[in-house]
Each structure stands twice: as C-alpha cells, then as structure tokens.
Amino acid sequence: MTSAMTYAQLKAAQPDRYSQAADEFQQVIDAFEQDAVDLNQKVYQPIEYAWTGAAATAALAFIGASVDAYNATLEYMKRFVGLMRAGAEGIGDAQAYLRAAETLAANNGWTLTDDGLPQPVVPPTVHNRAMVEQLWQAMAANPEFAEFQDLLNRALSTAQTVDDQISAALKDPEQFGQGKNWEADAGRAASAVSALDTALEKAEIPAKGTSAAEVAAWWSALGQNPALQVQLIKDQPALIGALNGLPAMVRDKANRIVLADDITADNNLVHSLSAQQQQVEAEINELVSTGYATRPAGKLGELPTAQFQALKNQLQSIETRLSGTSGQLAALDSLQSQLDQTTVKWGPSGAETPLPPMYLLGFDTNASGHAIVACGDPDTAKNVAVYVPGLGTSSNSTHFSFDVQHTENMTMQADQDTGAQDNATILWLGYNAPQISPSEHALDVAGTQDATDAVPALTSFVSSLRTVNQNISNLTLVGHSYGSLVVGETASASHLPVNNIVLLGSPGVSVNKASQLNIDPSHVWAGAAAGDPVAKLGAFGVSPTSSDFGAHVINVNASGGLSMGTHGEYFDTYGNLNHDSGYSSLSNIASIMTGQYSNVTSGSPTGDGVIQGAEQGIINSGF
C-alpha cells in the first residue's frame, strides 16, 4: 500500500541524487566487471594449461562456479542501475510537468499553497466577500486553469507511478537478486549463455548472393536481440563483413576484426620465420666453419655438399616467405593506420585537415587481397561515388595507401565544393585486379577475364548502396585504368542504379558507345591525360575520350610529355608531376559526383576512336 504522492513531496524530490548514485554504482559495476573478466581470463583459463589431473579438475569446477556467480551478480547490478536511471528520469519528467504548471499559475497571478492548490491573489483594496468570491470564480473560469489542473495531475500521477513501480522493482528479490540463491542464478546465467549459443546456431547467416534487401531484413529481425548481433559480429566477422545490405557501421566493425586478426597472424608468422631463418643460417655457418660446406669434385674443384645445398635451399624458401609476409604485414599496418586517422595533410598547402569517418566495408588477404574502403558514411551521404582501381592494385601492398588517398581526396574535394559533409567515396577493390605494373604491354597480358569475373560482385555492391541508403541523390561509378574496363563490363551487363559513370585513363571499356552503358549517355564522362600511355592504347575498345564514343570529355589539365606519372594523377590534389596546380581532374570528378554539372570543365576529344587492325584483333581474341 503506497501513500498518495503530494505536491510538496514531488517538489522536494531530488532525482539528481538517483542519477548521481547510478553513476557511482556504475563505476562499481565497471570495476567489478574487470574482476569477473580477470577471474575468468587470468585465473580460470590459465589453470587449464598449467595444471591437469584430478586436483585440477576439482579446482576448475570450483573456480568455474565462482566465475558464474561473478557474472550473474554483474547482470543483476546492471539491471539494478538501469532501474535507478529509469527512476531518475521518471521523477525528472514529473517535475517538468510540475514546473510547467507552476509557470502557468505564475503567469496568471495565482499562488500555490504547500498542497499545490492555486488561489487568486486578492488585492489589499478588496474587502468585500462577494468580490473575493468573484476572483475565485474568474480563476476557475479561466481556460488556463483547466490546463493547470491537467499539468498538476499529470505531474503527480507520473511521479506516483514511477515511484511505485521502480521502488517495487528495486526491492523485488526475484528480479534483482537481493537475498536470492546466487548459485541457482549462476545456473540460470549459464542457461542464458546456452540459449544465446542456440540462437546463434539458428541465426543462419545469409548465403553469398542473397539480395541486399533480404540481408537488411534478416539483420533488422535480429535486432530484437542485440546481444545476438554483437555475438555474430565477433564470431563470424568475415561472413558478416562481406554482406551487402548491412549498415556500414556493422560491416566496418566486422572487417576491422578480420584485419586485426590478420595483422596478428602475420606478426606471429614473421616472428616464426625469423627464428627459422636464424637457425638455418647458424647451421650453414656451422658447416662452413667445420669444412663440411663443400666437397672435392676432381677437376671441378670444390662443390657444395648435399647438406649445405639443402640448407641453402631451405633458407631461400624461408626468406621468400618472410619477405612476402613482411610486405603484406606492412600493407595491413598501413591500412589500419589510415582507417584510424582523423586528420590528413590535404590541399595545396598541405594543411592538417579533419578527415571524414573511414569505414572498412570489405576485407580479405586472398590472392592479392581485397578491400572496400569508404571515406564518409555511405549510409547517410547524399552523394556517393564508387571508385574501381586498376592494374596492379593490391591491398596486400603498401602501394594501396595511394588508392585510399585518392578516395579521401574525392570525398574531401566534394565536401569542400558543396560546403556540406554529406559525401562519401568508396574504394572498391572487390575483384582480382591484374597484378601487372602499367606499361604499354601490360594490357596484352592482362586480358579481360578479371574484369568479366568482377561483374557480379560490383553489380551486387553498387545496387546494395541504395537499399541501405534511400536518400542518395547522386550515385557515381568511377573507373580508373583497368578499373574502367571493369566498370564498362558491369554497366553494359545490366541497368545499374547509378546517375553517372566516369572513365579515367581508360584503355577501353569493352563497348564502343556511351549509350551501351545503360544510363543516359549525357551522364557518361571521360578524361585522359595527353601523355597517358595506357589511355592511348585503346586495348579494350574505342577510347572513351574519342568523339565516336559519345561521352562528355572532361578537362584533366595534365600536360603530358611525362611517362606513367600522367596515368596515376587524376585524383591528386597537388604536387603531381604535371604541375597540375588547379587539380582540375579532381575538381571535375567532385562536381560530377555532387551533381554540379555546370561546374565541369570540358576537355578535347582524343582521335577518332577507330580501332585499327592489330588492336581490333587483340580485342576479338579475348586475350
């Protein structure tokens, strides 16, 4: 039985005390949680390795039960502090109603008694009982009087409900464990863990190829059990991180776990290989110093002994693996650093500039590596660009950092041009880029197969962006070098939901007309530096910058005359070999991706685009 809440009680209540107590209790929880973790990780788990036998079994059972009790208590404490906060907020809300009522009364010249009863102010000149009566009647007839009463009632009833329910819950032994059988609770906690495991088993992760809409619906349904979502990210980061249709933040969390695990694995491997290298070198030195490295071979003089040769071969194998692993490790460390950056030196002045948030939307080290890196949040951005890099791109190489920089440059230029931070650029290395350095003969070797193989993955990824973010105004697909062939093959295969296609330094895109890319040809843009040897090859069809192709040719303001430098500078901000101080290429890309088409400066078409004999033969042969 609870007594009715009064005006005076509510006015005097101090919900801040509950908030403060909750904050202090939370500190206790945080410290106790560390104790629970330490008891499990630093005592229980090491004992499993340090001790075996009957006594160890008994010890583990005892300590395990204690760990369970710690965890069960922790859960109760968290729920308890949650109630404290709910109480503080509820009483705070009630007092807000009360203050609104008091303000209304004050505005009308009513005073409140200690019981919260309003009364009109009676002027000293009024001595007539009838006149006083009139003042009361006028107050009661005032439309705001009813509002005042409503506010006061709301305040008191809210406070009453909150106080009754929260205090009862705080004292409820069944809910919060006061005086409970803690061992039974520990058992229940274990059951809950088991239930989570069962739920995890049932939470079948969508198979590769599932539509983004289905993936989004699956994840949304899992949202009823956030613990399950968190556990899935931890347990299956590679699978979760690769799912198109999931929020960028989720994919980022998952892929960063994969990246961190790979860095750890590479570090371990480097240490192991280094140790092996030292051991084999010592054995070789031993052979040399004891005279067993060579043997007499008659006229041939001295030849290596079989043992010496075997050790040399082994050393070479170790050094090859060590070199490869160290190189990959350096690349992964570099990627990690770029993802963690919050500022970069940017623009002609190289001033330290805030960097939009970075997201790792895809990652693995298979083949030459794959990574999908976003600069800016693609789930909320108004303008999104997907940038497909070309020949030689590998996330297992430190050179990948330049591709990430290109991505950052596009977003930051778009942000600068629009004055709004609602742009995102995604570096999409979701395919096996041919691992050949750009050169005049590289494309002969590369062929089109890698581009053809990339089509399903790029189609799925680009299409998923609008599933997650339905407020994208401009979606632009940018292909550079061999990446433009990937873009061309993908766009010509189906109707991608993109507004613009930009082809830069392109050796051809497998189709001969902009109109074959399944978007309005007036939104196909192409640029090539005058001295870009790759763009001049026309190895995969008509050059997109030729007048025959029918794209808008954009100015890249690269003067040419230099070798490969001109092929890799379309995304630079400053300091490139062409002294492109206006960085018109980057400005034009940003103008296109933000839909500011009138700002795009035009370039000159290159040649007539007719494919001549031998080159045509190369295309037809399919490499």
Partner 1 sequence: MVVSRAADGGSGYQVDAQNLQALAVLADQIGQDAHALAAKASAALEGGALGGLQIGTALASAESGWSGQLVRLAGEASDIGSRLSSNATAYTQTESSVLESMMLRLGGPELAL
| Residue span binding partner 1 (CB under 8 A) among the ranges 31-39, 127-135, 318-326, 426-434 | 31-39
The answer to whether residue 87 forms part of the interface with partner 1 (CB under 8 A) is yes
Residues near 593 by beta carbon (within 8 Å), at least 6 away in sequence: 383, 384, 385, 410, 414, 423, 425, 474, 476, 478, 500, 502
| Residue span binding partner 1 (CB under 8 A) among the ranges 158-166, 346-354, 425-433, 455-463 | 158-166
The answer to whether residue 179 forms part of the interface with partner 1 (CB under 8 A) is yes
The answer to whether residue 20 forms part of the interface with partner 1 (CB under 8 A) is yes
CB of 366 to partner 1, least distance (A): 39
Angle, vertex CA 260, rays to CA 254 and CA 266, nearest 5? 140
- State the residue for tokens 């062409």: 578
Cα 273 to its chain centre, rounded Å, is 33
| Residue span binding partner 1 (CB under 8 A) among the ranges 46-54, 423-431, 461-469, 525-533 | 46-54
Burial (Cβ within 10 Å: 0-12, 13-18, ≥19) of residue 129: exposed
Of these, 75, 93, 96, 176, which contacts partner 1 (CB under 8 A)? 176
CB closer to partner 1 out of 94 and 371: 94
CB of 44 to partner 1, least distance (A): 9
Of these, 103, 111, 119, 178, which contacts partner 1 (CB under 8 A)? 178
The answer to whether residue 24 forms part of the interface with partner 1 (CB under 8 A) is yes
Phi, psi angle pair for 352, to nearest 5°: -65, 120
The answer to whether residue 145 forms part of the interface with partner 1 (CB under 8 A) is no
| Residue span binding partner 1 (CB under 8 A) among the ranges 30-38, 198-206, 336-344, 511-519 | 30-38
The answer to whether residue 68 forms part of the interface with partner 1 (CB under 8 A) is no
Q: With beta carbons less than 8 A apart as the criterion, state whether 103 and 37 touch.
A: no
For partner 1 (CB under 8 A), the number of binding residues is 61
CB closer to partner 1 out of 173 and 348: 173
Tell me how far apart the alpha carbons of residues 101 and 151 are, in angstroms, rounded to a whole number.
5
Of these, 43, 121, 275, 303, which contacts partner 1 (CB under 8 A)? 43
Q: With beta carbons less than 8 A apart as the criterion, state whether 585 and 558 touch.
A: yes
Of these, 150, 164, 286, 608, which contacts partner 1 (CB under 8 A)? 164
The answer to whether residue 33 forms part of the interface with partner 1 (CB under 8 A) is no
Angle between helical axes of 226-235 and 182-202 (0-180°, round to 10): 70
Of these, 21, 199, 284, 315, which contacts partner 1 (CB under 8 A)? 21
CB of 398 to partner 1, least distance (A): 41
| Residue span binding partner 1 (CB under 8 A) among the ranges 34-42, 108-116, 263-271, 578-586 | 34-42
CB closer to partner 1 out of 52 and 323: 52
Of these, 2, 128, 437, 470, which contacts partner 1 (CB under 8 A)? 2
Tell me how far apart the alpha carbons of residues 402 and 334 are, in angstroms, rounded to a whole number.
11
DSSP annotation string for 104-119: HHHHTTEEE-TT--EE
Tell me how far apart the alpha carbons of residues 58 and 45 are, in angstroms, rounded to a whole number.
14
By DSSP bridging, strand 383-388 and strand 423-429 are: parallel
CB closer to partner 1 out of 167 and 323: 167
Q: 429-466 burial by CB neighbour count: b if 16+ within 10 A, else e?
A: bbbbbbeeebeeebbeebbbebbbebbebbbbbbbbbe
Of these, 1, 4, 7, 16, which contacts partner 1 (CB under 8 A)? 16
The answer to whether residue 188 forms part of the interface with partner 1 (CB under 8 A) is no
Angle, vertex CA 142, rays to CA 140 and CA 145, nearest 5? 65
Phi, psi angle pair for 182, to nearest 5°: -70, -30
Of these, 78, 79, 99, 171, which contacts partner 1 (CB under 8 A)? 171
* 3-state SS assignment for residue 359: strand
By DSSP bridging, strand 474-480 and strand 500-504 are: parallel
CB closer to partner 1 out of 74 and 562: 74
The answer to whether residue 62 forms part of the interface with partner 1 (CB under 8 A) is yes
Q: Rg (Cα) of the chain, in Å, rounded?
A: 35
Of these, 111, 134, 153, 167, which contacts partner 1 (CB under 8 A)? 167
β-strand partners of 479: 388, 503
| Residue span binding partner 1 (CB under 8 A) among the ranges 24-32, 222-230, 267-275, 459-467 | 24-32
Token pair for residue 596?
């500011």
Q: What residue spans of 172-247 are helical by DSSP H?
A: 173-176, 182-202, 212-222, 226-235, 237-241
Token pair for residue 352?
């330290």
- Of 379, 334, 380, 342, nearest in space to 358 by CA: 342
| Residue span binding partner 1 (CB under 8 A) among the ranges 17-25, 225-233, 504-512, 524-532 | 17-25
The answer to whether residue 12 forms part of the interface with partner 1 (CB under 8 A) is yes
Of these, 58, 126, 213, 217, which contacts partner 1 (CB under 8 A)? 58
* 3-state SS assignment for residue 494: coil
Phi, psi angle pair for 600, to nearest 5°: -75, 130
Q: With beta carbons less than 8 A apart as the criterion, state whether 81 and 25 touch.
A: yes
The answer to whether residue 50 forms part of the interface with partner 1 (CB under 8 A) is yes
CB of 157 to partner 1, least distance (A): 14
Of these, 48, 52, 302, 494, which contacts partner 1 (CB under 8 A)? 52
Site for partner 1 in 441-500 (CB under 8 A): none
- The binding site for partner 1 (CB under 8 A) comprises 2, 9, 12-18, 20-22, 24-25, 27-28, 31-32, 34-35, 38-39, 42-43, 46-47, 50-59, 62-63, 66, 69-70, 73, 77, 80, 84, 87, 91, 159, 162-164, 166-168, 170-171, 176-179, 182
